Every structure is written in structure tokens, then in C-alpha cells.
Amino acid sequence: MTGSFHNLKISILLLLIAGYLVFSYSFMQLRIPPTGVGAPLGELALASILFTVNVPKVLSRIGTVMPLPLLLFWWSWGFARLIVDAIGEGLWAFRDATQLIETLYIVVGFALFVGPEQTSRLSRWLRGIIIVSCLYGLLFVVGNTLAAISPTLSGGSGQAIPILGTFATSGTMLLLGAFYCMTLPRGSGFSSLWPTLTAGFLVSYAIVVMQTRTIYLQLLCLAALMLVFRPSALRRLGFAIPVLCFAVTIATVFEIRVAGRLSSEISWSFLWDHVQSIFGVGSKGGVGEAAAGVPLRLGWWLRLYQELTSDPVALVSGLGFGIALTDFRDTLGTLAREPHNSVISVFGRLGVVGGICWLWIQIALFRVGYHAYHACARLRRSEESRLVLLTMALAVLILAGCLGEDIMEKPYHAVPYYALWGVVLRIAYNVRKAPPLPPAYADQMPVRGSP
């Protein structure tokens, strides 16, 4: 009975991760009750699972692989601030504290995936999630049609949100799918070629169709990750360049138009304009609008800096939850609550103390991931080592996006991010002095060296 209940909790978490990574914004709307002000599904699952977990015992074990006082201080500092702000600002404070709340999924991931059977199940699910996410992302070109015919959910303000046609996570998942293909074990003949071709196609599609500027930084971060853990996989990433060149050349010669996010034009001049828009250069079409957003965001960040440094108390403890960190309203009058930079949001809401603590936590998590990966490689636990590497790849993709978007303030990024890090901490805990796995669980493919 206990085992069945534990498996049920794992199934709930896996469904949450799948829903967030595939359907993103629309899945985020699920709540109880389903209309009006309701409790989000992710927070309900979080509270329900934590209620059934021996939290002190889990925390004591987490403390053997990463600094527990760091996590305890983060939660104490953040939730103390949240309680104070909620008294004055109400439910908006909880909305703004999404990332703080979702960090508790570290405990959930650690508590549920206790051994090789559970992590093997997660690996299978994650592989399926990547495949489905990539296939769904390829539908971006018909996104408007999908949204028009899709059933809808009720948003927080009563607006209709289409279930299909939202692609907030698709760019990240396409790159994660490419990374998965690039780090597959090398085969022979076509079995060696197809992962490389698939990775090149996914990277090219993400660049020419998704058309988000963070993709370039995300690719650099993936390359750095491969350089550290799988240097030979860089050859497969390099193959994406000729695939991209071929696709753009064909599109230019035959004047092919694809419904991209900013433009239907696919050409070298568009790509160059898109790269320049990172620095605020651009004056035409969607690229011009994207370029205009750069000084706007810089203005938000400068305004926050001035607010924080003008008051020593605010500099230390932040401006708090429940207030908007910008004064910008769109054409519909909706106030932008976050300055489109998750790092700055943390510093803005929790001050220098909270911001430094958050950065330290990220460094500590990657440090654990680094050692867990090599420990699994040494013990021939190649399935777990691939899971750790895939988690770090998703983490660098999300963190790269943090620099230009309010990514970590969205549950569809924060919940998978912290839940999977919790699993990595559990793997690190399990392999500290563990012997190699028996053949039933151990994959005989080499982990080091060639992918």
C-alpha cells in the first residue's frame, strides 16, 4: 500500500513536469476551482506531497551533499518576507513569490526518486517529454490556427486561454532535444548519422522559426556544458551550422516564407538584424520591435537599481512581494510585474541578501551535479549520469533565458527546474559510497569519452 502511494506521488509529479514543459502557459492555468481565484495545480501538488514526506529527515540527507544552512536561510528569509508582504498586499504577494515557493520542489524531487527504479522511470518519461515537446514545437508555424480551434481554459482575469497554440517552452525544449541527440552514444552507419541530422534540424528550426534572441546565448551555454562533460559531442553541435546554412540558403533562393515569431522572412539579412537587435539595433518589423525592447528593459533595471540603492533597508531586504517591479503597461493596460530578468527580480524582491543566497544556491546545485555525474560515470551508472547531464542542460537553458525574460517566475519553468535538481541531489546522495549497479540497471555503454 505504501509503495503504491509512493508511486502515485511520483506519477503526479511526472504528469506535472510533462504538462509544464509541453503546454507551458496553458497548463499553468489549471487550478481548483477552475475559474476565478483558485489554488494552482502545482502548488496544490507541492503542499500535498510535502504533507506526506518526513521533511526533517529529507533535509538532513540533502545536507550531506550540499550546504543545508544555505537552503534553510533562503527559505527562512524568503517566507518571512512573504508573510509580512501578504498581510498588506494579499494574494499578489503569493503570485510574485512563485520562484521562492517552487524551490521547495527540491525536497519533493529528493524525497520521491529514492533509487534506480524511480530514476529509470524518470529517464523514460523525460525522453518521452522531450520527443513530444519537440514535435509540438514544430507546430509553431500553425500556432494561430491551433489556438483558433483549440478548447480554452479560464485565465486568472477570466480571459480565454487556448490549450493548444502556446509555445512558451518550445524554444528551450527544441534545444534540449538537440542536446539529447548530440549526446547519444555513437553508433555506426545511419544510426550514427540520424542523431546528428536531427540535432542540426532542431537547432536550425529554433533559430529561424522560434526567433528568440536568448537562443544564441542558450547555444553558447550548451556548447560550454559539452566542452566540460562531452567534448566529442561538440562535433555534432558544429554540424548544425552547415544544416542552418543550407536551410537559409534554400529559403532565400526560392523565397520560402515561414510563419516565424517575428517575421516570415528567412534570410541572412534577417538573421543578422536579429543578432543586432540583442544590442538594441533594428528599425523594421518585428525585429525593430524587439530591438526597441532593449532600452525599455535597461530602463526598468536602472529604475530598480535606483530604488534599491536610495534606501539601505530596501537594498538589504528588497522591495518585497505583491508590488510590480516596473511601471510599464501594455496596450491593454496590463501592468508588467517583472523586469524581464529573473536574476534582477530576485534582487529586487529580496534584496542583496536574498539575491546572493539565490546565486549561491545555483552554484551549489551545479557543483553537486558535476560531482554526481563523475561519480555515476565511475560506478558505471550511465543511465543516471545521462539524467544528471540532461538536468544540467535544461538548467543552463533556463538560466540563460533568465537574463532576458522573467522565466523563473513562471511555474512551467521553475517546477521542472527545481524538481529535477532534487533528483540530482538524491542521485548524489545515493552514489557517495555506492558500488556499481548490477547489470539489471547498469548500461554497459561507456559514459566518458565519445558520446
DSSP 186-205: P-STHHHHHHHHHHHHHHHH
**Which pLDDT tens digit goes with each residue over 203-215?**
999 998 888 889 9
Residues pairing with 329 in the sheet: 335
Judging by beta carbons within 10 Å of its beta carbon (0-12, 13-18, 19+), is residue 64 exposed, middle or buried? exposed
pLDDT of 284 reads 64
Place of cell 555534432: 236
pLDDT of residue 190: 47
Tell me which residue of 176, 182, 191, 50 sits closest to 108, measured CA to CA: 50
Q: Evaluate whether 258 touches 264 at the Cβ level (below 8 Å).
A: yes
Q: CA–CA separation, 423 vs 421, rounded Å?
A: 5
Please say whether the beta carbons of 211 and 263 come within 8 A. yes
pLDDT of the residue at 265 = 73
Longest dimension (CA), the chain: 65
Q: Which of 304, 303, 269, 275 is nearest to 290 (CA)?
A: 275
- How far apart, in whole angstroms, are the C-alpha atoms of residue 50 and residue 428? 21
Element (H, E) at 31: strand 31-32
Give, in order, the Cα–Cα distances in Å from 234 to each of 181, 190, 207, 429: 12, 19, 18, 30
Calpha distance 228→449 (Å, rounded): 11
State the pLDDT at residue 344. 94
In this prediction, residue 263 carries a pLDDT of 73
Walk along the chain (451 residues) in steps of 10 and give the mean pLDDT of each run: 84 96 93 81 94 96 96 97 93 92 97 93 96 95 90 80 92 95 71 82 90 90 93 84 81 72 75 76 65 82 92 93 86 79 95 96 97 93 94 96 90 97 97 67 41 32
Q: Cell match 542523431: residue?
A: 195
Counting every residue written for the chain, the total comes to 451
Cβ atoms of 343 and 403 within 8 Å: the answer is: yes
Q: Give the per-residue pLDDT at 404.
A: 85
pLDDT of residue 437: 58
As given in the structure block, the three cell numbers for residue 32 are: 481548483
Residues 6+ apart with CB under 8 A from 37: 91, 156
